Amino acid sequence: MGQRLSQIVLFNGDIMAGDSQWMLPSEIYDYLCQKFPNGGTILEFGSGDGTAILSQSFEICSVEHDEEWAKKVVTPCHFIPIIPNEFSTTHQQIGWYDVEQVKGVIPEDLDIVIIDGPTGTIGRHGILSIVDFLPKSAIFIIDDVHRDEELDLYEKLLQWHGGKGLIHTAQYESGEIRQWASLSPRGVEQT
Ligand SMILES: C[S@@+](CC[C@H](N)C(=O)[O-])C[C@H]1O[C@@H](n2cnc3c(N)ncnc32)[C@H](O)[C@@H]1O
């Protein structure tokens, strides 16, 4: 079966192209561009077609568990394998990126952390192993919080972060509802 490629027009007129089932909802691009009109630095967990879109406006460093996907991305993308992780195990998940390797690629002066990987079938709770290496001054985006596991992760990250959390609703092209969450430091304009 062929890949479902689609094109979405962003608020600034740019065209987003790729398989929208896998990409971040376009609302996240709009949200980040409005919050950071002069760009910024992103650490993205889970790369894909949407990474190239983000790179038009941001410096982006991606972490990717699938070597094939890591090769497809033209921006800096670190292939980091999935290994056992204590938080993953606690949440009956397979594992997470090798924590020691992740610690070695976290950019300085990070503005945004996007949690969109690894795939939901592997699980994303392993990020809780490295939160103390991530700046609370950053905005965190957690995709797929319409799913129970990602919603639980968002709630745990919110508790750690102590900032303002918001759940945003969007739609897949099919019309099905999808949700993503933002965590902002207190004092930052919160929408
Ligand atoms: C939800 S995707 C990440 C999507 C990415 N943040 C974006 O906006 O394009 C999570 C994982 O699925 C894989 N993946 C990415 N795009 C895919 C696609 N079009 N089809 C199948 N797998 C994909 C990659 O291994 C990625 O780490």
Tens of pLDDT, residues 12-35: 666 556 788 999 999 999 999 999
Average pLDDT, integer, range 114-126: 98
d(CA 86, CA 124): 12
Residue 102, domain member (yes or no): yes
Q: What is the pLDDT of residue 4?
A: 44
Residues whose CB is less than 8 angstroms from the CB of residue 29 and which lie 6 or more positions away in sequence, other chains included: 10, 16, 50, 53, 54, 57
Residue 135, domain member (yes or no): yes
Q: How many folded domains does the chain comprise?
A: 1
Residue 48, domain member (yes or no): yes
Average pLDDT, integer, range 74-85: 96
Residue 31, domain member (yes or no): yes
CA 11 to chain centre: 20
Give Dmax (Cα) for the chain: 48
Residue 107, domain member (yes or no): yes
pTM: 0.93
Pocket of ligand 1 (CB under 6 A): 19, 22-24, 44, 46-51, 64, 66, 69, 116-119
- What number of CA atoms fall less than 13 Å from residue 50's CA on the CB side? 26
Residue 131, domain member (yes or no): yes
Range of the domain at 116: 23-184
Task: Say how many Å lie between the CA of residue 185 and the centre of ligand 1.
Answer: 27
Residue 16, domain member (yes or no): no
d(CA 177, CA 180): 10
Residue 118, domain member (yes or no): yes
CATH code for position 168? 3.40.50.150
Asked if 111 contacts 141 with a C-beta cutoff of 8 angstroms, the reply is: no
Q: Pocket of ligand 1, candidates 54, 63, 102, 119: which has the most ligand atoms within 8 Å of its Cβ, to mutate?
A: 119
Closest atom of ligand 1 to 143 CA is: 1
